[in-house]
Amino acid sequence: PKYTAGIAAAAILAFSGAATSAMADPVKLRISTPAVDSDWHAKMLTVFKDELEKQAPGQFDVEIHLNASLFKQGTEPAAMQRGNLDMAMISAQDIAKQIPAWSVFTAGYLIRDPQHQRAVFHSDIGKEFYQMVADDMNIEILDVGYLGTRELDIRGDKKIETPADLAGVKLRMPGSDAWLFLGNALGANATPLAFGEVYTGLQTGTIDAQDNPLPTVKAAKFYEVTNQIVLTDHLVDAVFLSMAKSTYDELSEDQQKLVHEAAEKATAYNNENRIADEAKLLDFFKEQGLKVYKPDVDAFRKKVQQDYLDSEFAKDWPEGIVERINAVK
Ligand code: KDO
C-alpha cells in the first residue's frame, strides 16, 4: 500500500542523505600566491591549512600554490570572481583597481605601524571597507596580515638621502597604477615587473632597485643582487587573506566560523614572526655586505603625502577617511 511505500521511500531518502553527508567530499580550497616558500605569509597558509585539518578533520582539502604557479600576480581577484580560484592573499592595490576608495590604503606614509594597521582593519573602518569588497567584488576578506614595512633595496653605491636622489633610478614596482604612483612619488622612475622576475631584473641590471619588506628581501634573496637598503619605511603593507564568495557561501555556518578562526590564527602567526624578523634582519644584511641606513625620512614623507593628497586617487577617498584612520589608536 501507498502509505508503507511512502514511508519506505522517505526512509531510504533520509538514509542516503545521511550517508552522502557523512561521506561528502571535503571542500577544496585552492589558494594561489606569488609568495616564496620561506616567506612568512607563505608559511601562514600552512598554519591556516593545519588549523582547519585539526578543527574539522576531513572537511577541507586546502591546496597551497606558491610562486604564482597557479595564477599570475594580481590576477587572483578576477580568478576568484570567475569561480576559478577559492582563496588568495590580495593587496589593497589589487582591490583599488575595482574599488577606487580602497586606494587610500595604497598611500605611502598613512598607516603608521603594524599595530595601527591591525587596529584600523579591526575597527568600523575595516568593516566598511570589507563590506565594499563583499558587495562589489564578491570576495570575502577573512583577515588582514602584516606584509611588512616596505624599504628601498638598490644596486650601486649612490647614497640616497632625499627623493631627489632617486631621480632616474629605475625602481621596480608591482604592475598596477597604484603601485607605480607610489614609486614615482618616492622620486624614482617606477617600472612595472612581476615579483617572480625581480631577482633576474636586478641581477642583469634591467632594473636598479626594488622595494619590499625586509623579510621578503631575505626570503626572495634580493640581497644577493643589490648593494644597499635604504630605510624609507614608505608603506606599512598589508595582505588580505580572502575567499571567493561563491566558495564561502557554499560553506555551512560552522565551516564559515572555522575558516575565520583559522585565518586569525594564520595572520597572528605571520605578524608575530614578521615583526620579530624585521627587528633582527638589519644585522643580517650588514653581514651580507650591504649598506643599511636611514635617509631623510621626513623629506620622503612630506613629498609622498603631498603627492597623494594632490592625486586623482584622493578624489575617490570617502570624506574624512584620512582623519578617521589617523584617529585610530
Ligand atoms: C611585490 O610584488 O613586491 C609584493 O610585495 C606585492 C604584494 O602585494 C604581494 O603580492 C607580494 O609581492 C607577494 O606575496 C610576494 O611576496
**What type of residue sits at position 110?**
L
Least confident of 21-35, 188-202, 222-236: 21-35
Nearest-atom index, ligand 1, CA of 213: 5
The pTM of the whole model exceeds 0.90: yes
**Which pLDDT does position 24 carry in this prediction?**
79
Q: How far apart are CA 154 and CA 230, in angstroms?
A: 8
Protein residue with its CA nearest to atom 12 in ligand 1 = 195
The pair phi, psi for residue 309, each rounded to 5°, is: -65, -35
Q: Confirm or reject: Cβ of 45 under 6 Å from ligand 1.
A: no
Q: Each residue of 220-258: pLDDT tens digit?
A: 999 999 999 999 999 999 999 999 999 999 999 999 999
> Mean of the per-residue pLDDT values for the chain?
94
Q: Confirm or reject: Cβ of 103 under 6 Å from ligand 1.
A: no
Q: How far apart are CA 217 and CA 69, in angstroms?
A: 20
Protein residue with its CA nearest to atom 14 in ligand 1 = 35
Q: Which of 39, 69, 97, 216 to mutate to test the pocket of ligand 1 (most atoms within 8 A of CB)?
A: 216
Q: Which of 38, 41, 73, 239 to mutate to test the pocket of ligand 1 (most atoms within 8 A of CB)?
A: 73
Q: Spell 83-120 as b/e; 16+ CB within 10 A means b.
A: eebbbbbbbbbbbbbebebbbbbbbbbbbeebebbbbb
Q: How far apart are CA 309 and CA 271, in angstroms?
A: 29
Q: Which residues contact 128 (CB under 8 A, 6 or more apart)?
A: none
Nearest-atom index, ligand 1, CA of 150: 5
**Which pLDDT does position 22 carry in this prediction?**
52
Q: Each residue of 7-24: pLDDT tens digit?
A: 444 444 444 444 445 567
Protein residue with its CA nearest to atom 15 in ligand 1 = 35
CB 222 within 8 A of CB 210: yes
**Which pLDDT does position 11 carry in this prediction?**
47
Q: Confirm or reject: Cβ of 92 under 6 Å from ligand 1.
A: no
